[in-house]
Structure 1
Amino acid sequence: MSERVIKPLGRGFLFLDSHPAGCAQVVRDLAGQVERRTPERRVALVIGSSSGYGLAATIAGLARYGIDGVGVSFEKAPTARRTATAGWYRTAETAALASELGREFHFVNADAFADTTKTEVLDLIAERWSGIDHLIYSVAAPRRVDPRNGETYQSAIKAIGAPHTTKSLAFEDGQPILQEVGIEVATDDEIAQTIKVMGGEDWARWVEALSGRGLLKPGFSTVALTYIGSELTGPIYRQGSIGAAKADLEQTALTLGKDGVQAMTSVNGAAVTQASSAIPGIGLYVSLLHKVLGDGLQTPIQQSTALWDQLTGDTPWDLDEEGRIRLDRWELAEEVQAAVRAQWEAATQGNIADVADTAWFFAEVRRLYGFDVPEVDYEAPTEVDVSWPTRA
């Protein structure tokens, strides 16, 4: 037993420790927002199950449809000096939730890009269920080691074609700071490496490995999560190096969709995640979006619930002309974007706390690490030595 009082120490959007009780409560709060449906025996594999949309997809699948399956993520265990990563604690609580729901859901802590991880996960699937119905791919990583050639690829957050300057949100001692951030132009090599990390190659390898082992059940479907976003963030996101990787992801869906495989990308809406908060301009944009929409901003758990409803056939597919699932229509509605643009253009350092919902955004960032969660006593010691879920 190792109980400690955990405080949110860090700089900007990065914290040195995470709060175990807060992370656990986040999982419970997400599950409590999902209305349960009659479960069918479906087996799912979620790659990137410990945070962001991958976590939401895992919890929504468990709480709404009682899925069985495997979640894969790469998290750090607690040490003598530091707590575990937030995803470690969220995974432990998600495993407890699955057990309470009577589901068999296993969690593998390993590099999703590695062939050894694929072998471990496929062996587990073959042993327990002889196949899966769904694969959800939600990986956000800064780098990737390709096990086939040993090369390390590094993603870049840069513009393509011309440099770009954007307004961006930062915090100093909890107070919002409006900045102007310059975005450099990516080289061809940086674009290629970003595609290697964030594109569709590893997604395809997972599907090919499952197919090669005969582990795709009849009617199998797979979805990779993507984002398009606003014209305000376009130069740094959709038209930038990240966007090139997302385009590759969408092209991969077309090549995978054959031989009985239904492969699609799901275009999700803007959200506060550990990955998105690191991208210049995104924090400001999401703060403005929440200011405009309030509770009309659809959360990852709401969107993930809608995704599962479509995957299971409970509701019809909502597809665009390119065959992508669209969970972001609420965000890109013309009147919403017009209102956000007006606020963006009006934003100054003097009025930033008024035109944008900066307090909400900062609290959401802290919640990523288990802080600012209602019903959690942050003055009380909490157990930090939480074990990774053992397999049943």
Structure 2
Amino acid sequence: MTERVIKPVGRGFLFLDSHPAGCEQIVRGLTEQVEARTPQTRPVALVIGSSSGYGLAATIAGLARYGIDGIGVSFEKAPARRTATAGWYRTAATAAYAETVGSTFHFINADAFADTTKADVLDLLQEKFGGVDYLIYSVAAPRRVDPRTDTTYQSAIKAIGQAAETKSLAYDDGQPVLQEVGIEVATDEEIAETVAVMGGEDWSRWVDALEERKLLKDGFTTVALTYIGSELTGPIYRQGSIGAAKAHLEATARDLSSRDGVHARTSVNGAAVTQASSAIPGIGLYVSLLHKVLGDGLQTPMQQSISLWDQLTGEKPLDLDEDGRIRLDRWELTDDVQAAVRTKWDEATQDNIAEVADTVWFYEEVRRLYGFDVPGVDYEAPAEVDVEWPT
């Protein structure tokens, strides 16, 4: 037993420790957002990136609503001198929930990009389930080592074609600070590396591996989660180096769907506060403005994940756009919502940022990513940090 009082220590949106009890409570709150059902069948799902953000929400929604069995893959740090990463504690809590609802769901802590990980996961799939019905791909990583060339690729958050500027939200001792951030132009090499990290190559390799092992069940469906976003964030996101990677992801979906026995889509999710998105200039300000406009109308990752599973299983028809993408973000991109956000974006200054944007909410959401500021948790009490990875 290793108990200690844990306080949020870090810089910007990055914290050095996470709170086990807070992370457990976050998972409990997510499960309470889903109307649990008694499953008639238990489809087998493989979720790549199951410990955080939309991948976590998709895992819990599948467990609660459709009784999925299967495997979740993520890459988290164990407790040592510091606490474990938040995803480590969230995974432990998710595994406990899976057990309570009767699902056989295994969690693998390993680099999803590695061929050895793929081999181990597929061995387990074959042994325990004989195949897979759904593959959810939700990976947000800053770098990737290609196991076949041993090349390390580093993603870049840069503009394409011409430099850009954006407003961005930061915090100084919890107080909001409005910044003007310059966005450099990406080189061709930086764009290519970003595509190598965040594009569809690794997603395709997972499907290749499953196909080679004859583990695709009839009707196999796979979806990679993506984002389009607003014109306000376009220069740094959709029209930038990240956007090039997202375009490659969408092209990969079309390629995969051309194969016999594979149904592949990208799912366009709406804006949310995640560890990945909070690192991108402009996104924090945009999301805080969006929440100011929509309030509870801002759909959570869990609400969107429930809709995704309903569409994937055929309970509801697929909501597709002209490019064949599943759209879970229509609530965000309506003309009236975007006009209201743009007005606030243009109005925002350092003097009025706390009133124009929902900065308190955003700051608390970032802290909750690490298990802090969660209602019902006593942060003055010692917490057990040596939580075991579920086996």
Distance (Å, rounded) in 2 between the aligned partners of 1:305 and 1:322: 22
Distance (Å, rounded) in 2 between the aligned partners of 1:22 and 1:372: 8
Distance (Å, rounded) in 2 between the aligned partners of 1:348 and 1:313: 47
Distance (Å, rounded) in 2 between the aligned partners of 1:138 and 1:33: 20
Partner of 2:280: 279
Q: CA deviation at 1:365?
A: 0.1
Partner of 2:7: 7
Residue 381 of structure 2 corresponds to residue 383 of structure 1:
no
Distance (Å, rounded) in 2 between the aligned partners of 1:15 and 1:125: 35
Q: CA deviation at 1:260?
A: 1.5
Taking the TM superposition and a 5 Å limit, the aligned residue runs for 1:18-57 are 18-39=18-39, 40-57=41-58
Q: CA deviation at 1:38?
A: 3.9
Distance (Å, rounded) in 1 between the aligned partners of 2:317 and 2:29: 27
Contact 2:167 2:180 in 1 (8 A): yes
Residue identity in the other structure for 2:284: G
Q: TM-score, normalised by structure 1?
A: 0.99
Distance (Å, rounded) in 2 between the aligned partners of 1:245 and 1:36: 36
Q: CA deviation at 1:63?
A: 1.1
Partner of 2:113: 113
Partner of 1:290: 291
Residue 122 of structure 2 corresponds to residue 128 of structure 1:
no
Distance (Å, rounded) in 2 between the aligned partners of 1:68 and 1:285: 37
Partner of 1:364: 365
Distance (Å, rounded) in 1 between the aligned partners of 2:328 and 2:27: 22
Residue 84 of structure 2 corresponds to residue 84 of structure 1:
yes
Distance (Å, rounded) in 1 between the aligned partners of 2:42 and 2:369: 31
Distance (Å, rounded) in 1 between the aligned partners of 2:282 and 2:172: 16
Partner of 2:183: 183
Residue identity in the other structure for 2:218: P
Distance (Å, rounded) in 1 between the aligned partners of 2:337 and 2:37: 32
Partner of 2:163: 163
How many equivalent residue pairs? Answer: 389
Distance (Å, rounded) in 1 between the aligned partners of 2:140 and 2:132: 23
Q: CA deviation at 1:37?
A: 3.1
Question: Secondary structure of the equivalent of 1:331?
Answer: coil
Residue 73 of structure 2 corresponds to residue 65 of structure 1:
no
CA RMSD of aligned residues (A): 0.5
Distance (Å, rounded) in 1 between the aligned partners of 2:186 and 2:94: 38
Taking the TM superposition and a 5 Å limit, the aligned residue runs for 1:153-232 are 153-232=153-232
Runs of 4+, deviation exceeding 3 Å: none
Residue identity in the other structure for 1:42: P
Partner of 1:141: 141
Q: TM-score, normalised by structure 2?
A: 0.99
Residue identity in the other structure for 1:268: N
Residue identity in the other structure for 2:52: S
Residue identity in the other structure for 1:188: D
Partner of 2:234: 234
Residue identity in the other structure for 1:90: R
Residue identity in the other structure for 2:272: A
Contact 2:216 2:261 in 1 (8 A): no
Partner of 2:300: 299
Partner of 1:243: 243
Partner of 1:319: 320
Question: Secondary structure of the equivalent of 1:62?
Answer: helix
Residue 230 of structure 2 corresponds to residue 259 of structure 1:
no
Q: CA deviation at 1:162?
A: 0.3
Question: Secondary structure of the equivalent of 2:331?
Answer: helix
Q: CA deviation at 1:129?
A: 0.7
Distance (Å, rounded) in 2 between the aligned partners of 1:165 and 1:254: 33
Distance (Å, rounded) in 1 between the aligned partners of 2:92 and 2:275: 19
Question: Secondary structure of the equivalent of 1:290?
Answer: helix
